[in-house]
Amino acid sequence: MTDFGITAIEAYFPHRYVEQTELEAHDGVSAGKYTAGLGLRRMAFASDREDVNSIALTAVHSLLEKAGVSYEQVGRLEVGTETLVDKSKAVKTTLMSLFAAHGNSDVEGVDTSNACYGGTSALFNSLAWLESSQWDGRYAVVVAADVAVYAPGPARCTGGCGAVAMLLGPDAPLVMETGTRASHMADTYDFWKPDLASEYPEVDGKLSITTYYDALDRCYAGVQRKRVLRQQPPLTLDAVDHILMHCPFCKLVQKATGRLAYNDLLNGVEGAQERYAALEPFRAMPREESLSSKELEKASVGASRELFEAKVSPGLHCARNVGNTYTASLYACLASLLSAGSPEELLGQRVLLFSYGSGVASSMFVMHVKRPVDALARLLDLFGRLERRAKATPAEFSATLADRELSYGKVGVALRGSIADDWILPGTFYLESIDEVGRRAYARKPVL
């Protein structure tokens, strides 16, 4: 068997969203600060009836149902997340409740975590399992799921919530390229969660941007190094058809596109000197300085506008409409790309992916569309489902997040969120209760 890769993909996001223009008005900030400034449109959010376990349950259940794969056919399931409701019991174990009814408990893999990177870690591990001597012939499932919430303040608008589940197996439509993969890992405090009792992170906003650029540079350089080892030609932006990057907010991905263009210029890529002529004045800028230069950032966004519209923007549909989904973010970009335009055109194309998790863990890799993805896109029904959501007011959004604080990390508390259809769609899993010693019970909203 060969061509192990992604054979199906499902994305889940809560039914409620808040409009970023309305949030701007509600927060009393200047119009356009969240939208034009950060590239945001709508943000999904969940009540205390949804947690990382419930959204992962929904995504996995829906993935296997849509793909027509039974629970007995899955030999591995790994979860990437940074949203903890228990410090010991993995999300993976809660997902085993889906398998129990089918008598399959022999399912390798647990949870993997570092900020927004866990989904990629789970993907890498699961693909390696499929290629290993220990593979037992069954599918692997990867789930990336997170609830991204911030304390009241300027970062709150960059939240989001979602889960992406992927089915991995042989003869896959989406296959990872061998050798074109490099990582950059370092000890950094740019985003972290030291207050264990709070759902909110600490963020060093400025550092998180320069660390992202730094990781992007180093992964791109690492890919070149790894390709030399395998006697492959250098990778350039011209050689890929699409670029997907972890998306904390869309504007950062646009700026990072400029950063990649700047890298191609510095690398002496053919044609880059003409195309990115506006970046010539920055060629001699010391690298450290370039990471925080607003002038370079502005010039590179301008110089890479065409590149961004053609190869990056189509992958940002989910990010624009759901917000940051942490570990799921990059794979929501992949789901968006499959759903944008006509999936037939993707056949034979190459997709560059950059995964980033603060702290820091990052990787760059390439996937090939080796087989038709039309069926994947159709089953996803991503754009349609995003349009059919229910809008909430900024006041409802704030009240819902305040309610979440009352139950997060606590035991024996009553849940306040509604389980009516305008919050929890039929077929969706939700949190029923947290008992006095912290045991969580889940139920699935009946499908009529």
By three-state DSSP, how is residue 169 classified? strand
Q: Which residues pair with 19 in a beta bridge?
A: 42
Is residue 101 a contact point for a copy of itself (CB under 8 A)? Answer: no
Q: What minimum distance in Å lies between the beta carbon of 42 and a copy of itself?
A: 25
Is residue 218 a contact point for a copy of itself (CB under 8 A)? Answer: yes
Instruction: Assign 3-class secondary structure to 357-373.
Output: ECCCEEEEEEEEECCCC
Q: What are phi and psi of 401, to 5 degrees?
A: -70, -35
Between CA 220 and CA 218 the distance in angstroms is 5
Q: What minimum distance in Å lies between the beta carbon of 434 and a copy of itself?
A: 8
Q: Are strands 390-392 and 16-19 parallel, antiparallel or unpaired?
A: parallel
Sole binder of a copy of itself in the list 132, 342, 384, 446 (CB under 8 A): 132
Q: What minimum distance in Å lies between the beta carbon of 98 and a copy of itself?
A: 9
Is residue 111 a contact point for a copy of itself (CB under 8 A)? Answer: yes
Q: Dihedral sign for Cα 93, 328, 34, 262, please.
A: positive
Which is closer to a copy of itself, CB of 223 or CB of 377? 223
Contact assessment for residue 339 and residue 317, using Cβ atoms and an 8 Å cutoff: yes
Q: Are strands 160-169 and 174-185 parallel, antiparallel or unpaired?
A: unpaired
Binding letters toward a copy of itself, positions 48-67, x by CB under 8 A = --------------------
For residue 58, the 8-state DSSP code is H
Active-site annotation holds for 116: yes
Is residue 179 a contact point for a copy of itself (CB under 8 A)? Answer: yes
Is residue 420 a contact point for a copy of itself (CB under 8 A)? Answer: no
Task: Identify the active-site residue in 184, 246, 317, 368.
Answer: 246
Is residue 107 a contact point for a copy of itself (CB under 8 A)? Answer: yes
Is residue 220 a contact point for a copy of itself (CB under 8 A)? Answer: no
Binding letters toward a copy of itself, positions 257-296, x by CB under 8 A = ----------------------------------------
Sole binder of a copy of itself in the list 7, 20, 183, 336 (CB under 8 A): 183
Active-site annotation holds for 333: no
Q: What radius of gyration do the chain's Cα atoms show?
A: 21
Q: What minimum distance in Å lies between the beta carbon of 432 and a copy of itself?
A: 14
**Segment interacting with a copy of itself (CB under 8 A) among 157-165, 332-340, 343-351, 360-368:** 360-368
Q: What is the dihedral of CA 95, 100, 101, 102, to 10 degrees?
A: 100
Q: What minimum distance in Å lies between the beta carbon of 292 and a copy of itself?
A: 19
Between CA 67 and CA 56 the distance in angstroms is 16
Is residue 434 a contact point for a copy of itself (CB under 8 A)? Answer: yes
Q: Which residues pair with 275 in a beta bridge?
A: none
Task: Identify the active-site residue in 10, 19, 78, 82.
Answer: 82
Contact assessment for residue 405 and residue 426, using Cβ atoms and an 8 Å cutoff: no
**Segment interacting with a copy of itself (CB under 8 A) among 88-96, 241-249, 335-343, 422-430:** 88-96
Sole binder of a copy of itself in the list 73, 93, 267, 349 (CB under 8 A): 93
Between CA 153 and CA 162 the distance in angstroms is 22
**Segment interacting with a copy of itself (CB under 8 A) among 272-280, 287-295, 330-338, 353-361:** 353-361
**Segment interacting with a copy of itself (CB under 8 A) among 9-17, 81-89, 162-170, 267-275:** 81-89
Which is closer to a copy of itself, CB of 31 or CB of 186? 186
Is residue 201 a contact point for a copy of itself (CB under 8 A)? Answer: yes
Residue 3, CB-side half-sphere exposure with 13 Å CA sphere? 9
Q: What minimum distance in Å lies between the beta carbon of 143 and a copy of itself?
A: 14
Q: Which of 322, 272, 292, 156 is nearest to 212 (CA)?
A: 292
Cβ neighbors of 70 (< 8 A, separation 6 or more) are 64, 102
Is residue 131 a contact point for a copy of itself (CB under 8 A)? Answer: yes
Between CA 208 and CA 358 the distance in angstroms is 7
Is residue 72 a contact point for a copy of itself (CB under 8 A)? Answer: no
* Residues 384-413 close enough to bind a copy of itself by CB under 8 A: 409-411
Cβ neighbors of 348 (< 8 A, separation 6 or more) are 368, 369, 370
Between CA 26 and CA 37 the distance in angstroms is 17
Contact assessment for residue 35 and residue 24, using Cβ atoms and an 8 Å cutoff: yes
Active-site annotation holds for 61: no
Is residue 169 a contact point for a copy of itself (CB under 8 A)? Answer: no
Task: Identify the active-site residue in 78, 108, 116, 317.
Answer: 116
Catalytic site residues? 82, 116, 246
